[in-house]
Structure 1
Amino acid sequence: MTGPTGVRCTLMRGGTSKGAYFLAEDLPADPAARDDLLLRIMGSPDPRQIDGLGGAHPLTSKVAVVSASADPDADVDYLFLQVAVDRAEVSDRQNCGNILAGVGPFAVERGLVAPGATETSVRVRMLNTNERAVATFPTPGGRVDATGDAEISGVPGTAAPVVIEFPAGDAPLLPTGRIRDTVAGAEVTCVDNGMPTVLMPAAALKVTGYEQPKDLEEDLALADRLREIRLAAGELMGLGDVGDATVPKLTLLAPPRSGGAVATRTFIPVRCHTSIGVLGAASVAAGLRLPGGVGEGIAELPRHGDRVRIEHPTGFLDIDAVIDPDAGAALRTAVVRTARTIFDGTVFPRPPAHPSGGNDGSAPR
């Protein structure tokens, strides 16, 4: 059987997402050629992604492109690419903190970083935003070992912890310069602690904030309202026209129900996240600590310590968040995630579309 040339690929679960990890040298240098290849590898555009690696959901249609970094303050460069499921679109306009959890172990396994005898720290430059992170994980005997007792909501079983710390960046925590804004008639707090995020009370949108993601997605009036707010917030946050982007994220806030600080429902952009992204949660945690933000009167912040527990539809995510409210800056952000290699080998992409228009991934008619 003949077909397209295979590409070396590692499929990993990173946090509560799943994606294909590649060395940059194994993909075309030209972004257009790279994106065409990735669409064919993931099986897009097709709602089922039946002819590729994708799992028919944005959380399982992700790509990490990793390379040794020329920056003396980083070990590796990480480019995150979101591959649309039902559209021929690949976006680099955001980071992904969950897929980030697999970058350090991947870099060690592929020989980009030498492992330590007991644990390894990998300094990562996130090319999407030029922000930094340090991922630390166990390497007993100088080998990546994914077994451990760390448990994260939304993932069965336990695994080795990957502690990700985000140094304070240069971007303002408050992109609009204000703790509260009125956007398309809604009171919001716009915050960026690694992920541009718009916080708003769920009750203001006539929902409880405890609904199942599927039920929220089926609320067409809510979807229209969220689009209106997101487009206006994008302009206000300096992101320009975000009609075709997945940022900013929109997070609805409600009082906690399970011992956390707040209950959340997050939209990417109108699909409701079944959990919450790492960087989105980091922005939520920082936003909750801002006096006068929309979280006041909703969130129940801990009296002691830096840890903020963010409840989401399938459990919770703990974020260590320290901010300077006077300066409007994040001082420290850290999170515990887990990651695991599912397979490592060769992936064979779907053949390129025929000039006559066939083989384009569309559903049969």
Structure 2
Amino acid sequence: MTFAAQLKIPATYLRGGTSKGVFFTLDALPEAARTPGPARDALLLRVIGSPDPYGKQIDGMGGATSSTSKTVIVSRSQRPDHDVDYLFGQVAIDSAFVDWSGNCGNLSAAVGPFAIAQGLVDPARIPHDGVATVRIWQANIGKTIVAHVPITAGAVQETGGFELDGVTFPAAEVQLEFLDPAAEEEGGGGAMFPTGNLIDDLTVPGVGTLEVTLINAGIPTIFLNAEALGYTGTELQNAINDDPKALAAFELIRAHGAVRMGLIARVEDAAKRQHTPKVAFVAPPRPYTASSGKPVEQADIDLLVRALSMGKLHHAMMGTAAVAIGTAAAIPGTLVNLAAGGGERESVRFGHPSGTLRVGAQARKVDGQWQVTKAIMSRSARVLMEGWVRVPPP
């Protein structure tokens, strides 16, 4: 019996923010995987090591968490005033499913550096020393991200002194601007507030009726008050992830919220849309000890936020959820804004399980509707490994 050799595909393994993923240029993929469909999904599942009934992704590049089970495809942009198109695939761990319904804000920080290193950005726009501006079209949700990438001696600068809670070592700072971040296309349900309200009552069978803020910004997100769930907002991962009843309740909230937001037609459809919407709970500031042992003082933050991704409490904060937090905080009357003390603001610093994060947002009311022109935050990114990823042929 003869056996076929593994496929050898050019790829780069990058950390972006508090996530890691396998990055590909579109033209490096096998021809069948260059267009959306089953062949692409099957390839990416095999690269990451899913589906894995053991939940470990031992036979792939995934790290068995929502933060490390990610793939990215980047290509030269066909759109005017953009350098590259960026497509994000969230790979399920224990099922054969790739979710294309939203963006990854953390890995967005690595798209600009990757694009420059792969020669996808016009060299004339790369300074010898300084900051390169990379204009990114986020293809999942149809939005523009502007990445400001530090350059030293004509190459992407990866080392530096910027510290990001949730990442152990410092690196170079990459500033991101999410322009007009209210989700509209594949990743959202239309308006920033799909129900037209800043706060809604959401009835979830088996859980109760809860006050929620339903927002499409960065990524569709359902915000709740921590107190209504019996939490303080200072919880770390184990407090939620080791509680099956809590996880089941959050999934029910997510499913019913997704229907209310117009993202799915039936509660049962939530299983096929695991990446969006996100669920987060908020609380007024209070001191706590982060997962690293670092103390977070009440005076250090404006509010507390804990968010779930792919059915588990996130170890830090998803970048897209941070955009939603910053946007909601800037609009008086949302649960996020009220937890932060109310009033108008253009930035907010919130506490998450790994520490703190600051995000800015510029909001205004136009013809009675809230609009956010952009949200801004800083992350870091660096190449962990580059070369080829190998997978058995289909």
Asked whether the two chains share a fold, i.e. TM above 0.5, the reply is: yes
CA shift at 1:169, angstroms? 4.7
User: Whole-Å Cα distance in 1 between the matches of residues 141 and 336 of structure 2?
Assistant: 26
User: Whole-Å Cα distance in 1 between the matches of residues 56 and 77 of structure 2?
Assistant: 35
Q: Of 2, 5, 20, which aligns to 1:18? A: 20
Report the counterpart of residue 309 of structure 1 in structure 2: 349
User: Whole-Å Cα distance in 1 between the matches of residues 8 and 232 of structure 2?
Assistant: 48
Q: Is the 8 A contact 2:181 2:375 kept in 1?
A: no
- The one-letter amino acid of 1:79's match is L
- The one-letter amino acid of 2:127's match is G
1:255 matched to 2:284? The reply is yes
Q: Of 62, 70, 80, which aligns to 1:62? A: 70
After TM superposition, list the pairs within 5 Å mapping 1:126-145 onto structure 2.
Answer: 126-145=138-157
Report the counterpart of residue 120 of structure 1 in structure 2: 132
Q: Is the 8 A contact 2:330 2:346 kept in 1?
A: no
Q: Of 3, 6, 18, which aligns to 2:5? A: 3
User: Whole-Å Cα distance in 2 between the matches of residues 194 and 203 of structure 1?
Assistant: 25
CA shift at 1:332, angstroms? 2.5
Instruction: After superposition, give the CA deviation of every residue in 1:85-118 in whole Å (9 maximum; x if it has no partner).
Output: 1111111011001111100000010000122222
State the secondary structure of the residue aligned to 1:227.
helix
Instruction: After superposition, give the CA deviation of every residue in 1:228-249 in whole Å (9 maximum; x if it has no partner).
Output: 2211211121201433212110
Report the counterpart of residue 43 of structure 1 in structure 2: 49
State the secondary structure of the residue aligned to 2:271.
coil
Q: Is the 8 A contact 1:186 1:229 kept in 2?
A: no
CA shift at 1:6, angstroms? 0.5
TM-score (norm 1): 0.91
The percent identity for this pair of structures is 36
State the secondary structure of the residue aligned to 2:369.
coil
Q: Is the 8 A contact 1:213 1:265 kept in 2?
A: no
State the secondary structure of the residue aligned to 2:20.
strand
Larger deviation, residues 61-70 vs 254-263: 254-263
Structure 2, unaligned runs of 5 or more: 185-190, 204-208, 287-296
User: Whole-Å Cα distance in 2 between the matches of residues 97 and 296 of structure 1?
Assistant: 21
Report the counterpart of residue 358 of structure 1 in structure 2: none
1:283 matched to 2:324? The reply is yes
User: Whole-Å Cα distance in 2 between the matches of residues 54 and 142 of structure 1?
Assistant: 32
After TM superposition, list the pairs within 5 Å mapping 1:1-365 onto structure 2.
Answer: 3-27=5-29, 28-30=33-35, 31-46=37-52, 47-113=55-121, 114=123, 115-117=126-128, 118-169=130-181, 171=184, 172-184=191-203, 185-240=209-264, 241-245=269-273, 246-257=275-286, 258=297, 259-295=300-336, 297-300=338-341, 306-325=346-365, 326-352=368-394
Q: Is the 8 A contact 2:88 2:140 kept in 1?
A: yes
User: Whole-Å Cα distance in 2 between the matches of residues 116 and 338 of structure 1?
Assistant: 19
CA shift at 1:346, angstroms? 0.8
- The one-letter amino acid of 1:40's match is R
When the two chains are superposed, the root-mean-square deviation of aligned CA atoms in Å is 1.8
Q: Is the 8 A contact 1:69 1:75 kept in 2?
A: yes
Distance 1:297 1:67, change over 3 A: closer
Structure 1, unaligned runs of 5 or more: 353-365
Distance 1:214 1:5, change over 3 A: same
